[in-house]
Amino acid sequence: MEEKIIKTEYSEVMQKSYIDYAMSVIIARALPDARDGLKPVQRRVLYDMHELGIRYDRPYRKSARIVGDTMGKYHPHGDSSIYEALVVMTQEFKKGLPLIDGHGNFGNIEGDGAAAMRYTEARLYKVTQEAFLSDLDKDVVDFIPNFDETEKEPAVLPVKFPNLLVNGSEGIAVGMATSIPPHNLGEVAEAVKAYMLDENITTRELMKYIKGPDFPTGGIVINKDELLGIYETGTGKIKIRGKVDIEKGKAGKTNVVISQIPYPMVGANIAKFLLDVAALSETKKTQDIVDISNQSSKEGIRIVIELKKDADVDNFINMLYKKTRLEDTFGVNMLAIADGRPEVMSLKQIIRHNAEFQFQVAARKYANLLAKERDRKEIQEGLIKACNVIDLVIEILRGSKDRAMAKACLVEGKVEGIKFRSRESKVMAAQLNFTEKQANAILEMRLYKLIGLELEALINEHEETMANIYRYEDILDRRESMIQVIVNELDAIRKAYAHPRKTVIENAAEAVYVEKKAEEMEVVFLMDRFGYTRTIDVSAYERNREAAEAENKYVFPCKNTGRVCIFTNTGQLHTVKVMDIPFGKFRDKGVPIDNISNFNGEKETVTAAFSQTSLNLYRLIFVTALGMMKVVDGGEFDVAKRTVAATKLLEGDEVISAVVLNEQKQIVLQSREGYFLKFDVEEIPEKKKNAVGVRGMKLGEKDRIEHVFYTRSGTDSFITYKEKTLDLGKLKAAKRDGKGTKVRV
């Protein structure tokens, strides 16, 4: 076979491939369908459970069986995504209306994950069976081939209410994401009814029924006036607070009790909230907290914060709103697949898409039911007619040689070959004109149907069938009748499964937190060689001075209202509020500097640390590994930003020394290869912090500055070099930018 090479532009191939991939993720995986509110994986799990017969009135089945069957038949994208979808559909703290009844550990609101699928069991809830899957046998939706075309799966489930609103949805696709909050089933049902009765209804009028989101965790939505704009555009931010109650505690203390949390706090953020509250106390943002306890259980959330007797409770609650996630935002982006493409929809558009879907489903349902009733009517009329001439029918059956001859007589009146008892019977038989369906029913009819009561029942069934035909024709011919049927189904669902609203909707004033000014006091900053830092009382430092200086790399006094400046080898300056540094006892471990600043311990090392107040009074000498140096006025480091560049570095260079200039007379640079250069500090020029500086010492190609020493007048300067003592005072003084003297010991 001759090889055929197709030449094409690489960028075009990449663009087309990426667009195909993006659309596959958007349509087939990440975004819900506006009609049933389900992503493909959710729809496939529910349909597979329906097919396996794992219904609400039957025993639970292992989740692993459900996941495996779904993956093998419909969703070949790995078991973890399928099980995760199954788990979420069981969690009542994430879904306004859970769809799957889980048995076993399916996680909890505090972020603990579900047990492995081999340990848990599941079955459908009754509402899922009735409102999502009950009409699949009536050909109300299209079925499409699965991934390998060995099975058929529904393109959409015939859901009887706007599940997209009731359960909401979250998903990240390629270049877009959806975030739809859950709503109250009863309110949504009433809004759908209002839309069906008046398709010109406005979003504002729909919001008379749907007050706003109804989160399963409750909480308080505080920007009620902004909801109309959010529901008209499909995008915006909903501000939500947890529910806070005040209770009397022991010994006159006050307990602040959090009984509902903001929806975004579900999961690990509850633990983060407790840590944030504890941090407020540790960093002295508040001194009102006596104790924090998480008393949550299956009955619900209960987080208790015990306050001191004289605490300003309102101010403390406002601080929680400001400083923690007790007040949070839910970003709304009502994006879903509508008419085969992703679309950001308003509240009315979502309801309209679902209502149109309901009409389509109802039209197909009742058209199929009507066809079945008409078939039943045809057969019933044939049987009634046959009973009226039963003697003739029996004569035809007895006189026929085979079934085909009898059927031909019943349908077409062919009497050739049939033996009749009389000429009258033959004449009457020739006039028969049953339909094929009627003839088949007559031929299959059992003799007990000839009993009087059975015949009466047949006549009653025919009357019922005629009533059904009239009803179905009325539903299909008159839109008002179809609306009434859909409304009746909505009312039945609402009555059976709706629950009272959990989330309060109101306009609340912005939380105003007046931060109490801390009483200024002198503390001592300690940081050990591992980067653990803390502050202690001056008196505690005085009692443990020797141990403090022996065990810590950086020790200096500072004000608790000030800042600490951390200089690193990469030339960065990280500033930390002293208030953010834990204050405690001398033997406390402290916290890593990484936790309270932008310092990255994996990429940086601390070169120096100072009180920002002291820097304002002095100048700083910088020396780098490549021998660059400069003096910088300490006032340049009086910055509010957490991280700034402290100096400019050449490629491959790093800061090895940063010291305060204070009475040093001479500087001694020691290189890795053993060269020493001593010269006056006055030779180092003063530069700006964004300057590289000047060269202090000429170095060999692979040589680097390793240590920097300073001498002061009237003091001895001895160092240990190669395990021997070296007197820096005896080194010959030279000029800056020299090669230095190689010291041999």
Here the tokens at position 272 are 């983060």
3-state secondary structure of 576: strand
The helix-helix angle for 79-88 and 40-52 (nearest 10°) equals: 80
CA distance 569 to 652: 11
| CA gap 187, 208 in Å, rounded | 9
Enclosing domain of residue 298: 243-325
Q: Is residue 22's pLDDT more than 70?
A: no
In a domain, 95, yes or no: yes
Strand positions, DSSP E, 334-436: 335-338, 341-344
* CB distance 128 to 143 below 8 Å: no
CATH number of the domain to which 431 belongs: 1.10.268.10
Two structure tokens written together for 569: 């080898």
Q: What is the dihedral of CA 62, 63, 68, 73, to 10 degrees?
A: 100
Residue 697: is it exposed, middle or buried by C-beta count within 10 angstroms (0-12/13-18/19+)?
buried
The CATH number of residue 281's host domain is 3.30.1360.40
Instruction: Kindly state the average pLDDT of the residues 252-278.
Output: 88
Q: Compute the CA torsion angle 284, 285, 289, 294 (nearest 10 deg).
A: -110
Residues 588 and 734 in one domain: yes
Asked if 376 and 465 touch (Cβ cutoff 8 Å), the reply is yes
Question: From the CB of residue 5, how many other CB atoms can be counted at a distance below 10 Å?
Answer: 4
Q: Which residue did the predictor score with more confidence, 23 or 251?
A: 251
Q: Which tokens in the block code for residue 465?
A: 């069938």
d(CA 228, CA 231) in angstroms, rounded, equals 5
Q: Are strands 61-62 and 121-124 parallel, antiparallel or unpaired?
A: antiparallel
What is the H or E stretch that residue 632 is in? strand 628-633
**Distance between CA atoms of residues 231 and 350, nearest Å:** 10
Residues 58 and 123: beta-carbon distance below 8 Å? yes
Answer yes or no: is pLDDT of 331 > 90: yes
Q: Are residues 491 and 360 in the same domain?
A: yes
Distance CA 555, CA 590 (A): 14
The answer, yes or no, to whether residue 303 has pLDDT greater than 60, is yes
> Range with the lowest mean pLDDT among 201-210, 449-458, 477-486, 698-707?
449-458
Rounded Cα distance, 346 and 233, in Å: 5
Question: How many domains is the chain partitioned into structurally?
Answer: 4
Q: Are residues 576 and 646 in the same domain?
A: yes
Q: Are strands 220-221 and 504-505 parallel, antiparallel or unpaired?
A: parallel
The verdict on residue 416 lying in a domain is: yes
Partners of residue 456 on adjacent β-strands: none
Of 380-384, 446-450, 579-583, least confident by mean pLDDT is 446-450
User: Look-up: residue for tokens 């555009």?
Assistant: 233
* Domain annotation covers residue 727: yes
Tell me the mean pLDDT in the region 120-130: 95
- 556 and 592, same domain (yes or no): yes
Average pLDDT, the chain: 88
What pLDDT is stored for residue 561 in this prediction?
A: 86
Higher-pLDDT residue of 183 and 725 is: 183
**Domain closes at, from 288, 307, 325:** 325
* Per-residue pLDDT at 419: 83
Is 585 in the same domain as 675?
Answer: yes
Residues 6+ apart with CB under 8 A from 741: 675, 676, 677, 731, 732, 734
Nearest-angstrom CA–CA distance, 533 and 552: 9
47 and 96 share one domain: yes
Q: pLDDT at residue 518 above 70?
A: no
Q: What is the per-residue pLDDT for 415?
A: 82
CA angle 343, 344, 349 (to 5 degrees): 90
Instruction: Please say if the pLDDT value at position 309 is more than 90.
Output: no
Token readout for 432 is 């028969």
Mapped onto helix, strand or coil, the DSSP state of residue 624 is strand
**434 and 375 in one domain?**
yes
Choosing from 307, 325, 343, the residue where a domain stops is 325
**DSSP conformational letter for 511:** P
Residue with tokens 């009973």: 387
Top mean pLDDT of 234-248, 375-389, 397-411 is at 234-248
pLDDT digits 0-9 by tens, 663-692: 888 899 999 998 999 999 999 999 999 899
Together in a domain, 303 and 387? no
- Residue 250's pLDDT is 84
Range 398-424 average pLDDT? 83
Write the CATH number for 582. 2.120.10.90
pLDDT tens profile 616-671: 888 899 999 999 999 999 888 888 888 999 999 999 999 999 998 888 888 999 99
User: In this structure, is residue 505 part of a structural domain?
Assistant: no
**Which bin fits 93, alpha (ψ -120 to 50), beta or left (φ > 0)?**
alpha
Residue 193 domain-assigned (yes or no)? no
Q: Which two tokens stand for residue 353?
A: 């898409």
**CA distance to 404, 406, 705, per residue, from 413 (Å):** 12, 9, 117
Residue 658's nearest CA partner among 694, 615, 690 is 615
If we measure between CA atoms, which residue out of 322, 660, 365 comes closest to residue 512? 322
Shared domain for 551 and 629, answered yes or no, is yes
Burial letters 220-254, b for 16+ CB under 10 A, else e: bbbbbebbbebbbbbebebbbbbbbeeeebeeebb
Instruction: Give the separation between CA 395 and CA 421, rounded to whole angstroms.
Output: 8
The answer to the question of residue 319 being in a domain is: yes
Q: Looking at the domain assignment, is residue 449 inside a domain?
A: yes
CATH number at residue 123: 3.90.199.10
Q: Which of 115, 138, 158 is the last residue of a domain?
A: 158
State the pLDDT at residue 701. 86
Tell me: do 447 and 563 sit in the same domain. Answer: no
Residue 718 has pLDDT above 90, yes or no: no
Per-residue pLDDT tens digits for 464-476: 999 999 999 999 9
> CB under 8 Å to 110, separation ≥6 — which residues?
267, 268, 270, 271, 294, 296
Average pLDDT over residues 31-57: 93
pLDDT band (50, 70, 90) for residue 445: confident
Do 484 and 556 fall within a single domain? no
Helix or strand holding residue 611 (H, E): strand 606-611
- Cα–Cα separations (whole angstroms), residue 676 to 482, 505, 672, 717, 730: 97, 74, 10, 14, 12
Could you list the active site residues?
119
Residues 643, 710 contacting (CB under 8 angstroms): no
Q: Is residue 188 part of a domain?
A: no
Token digits of residue 220: 């308080």
Strands 220-221 and 177-180: unpaired
For residue 110, the model assigns a pLDDT of 86
Do 247 and 393 lie in one domain? The reply is: no
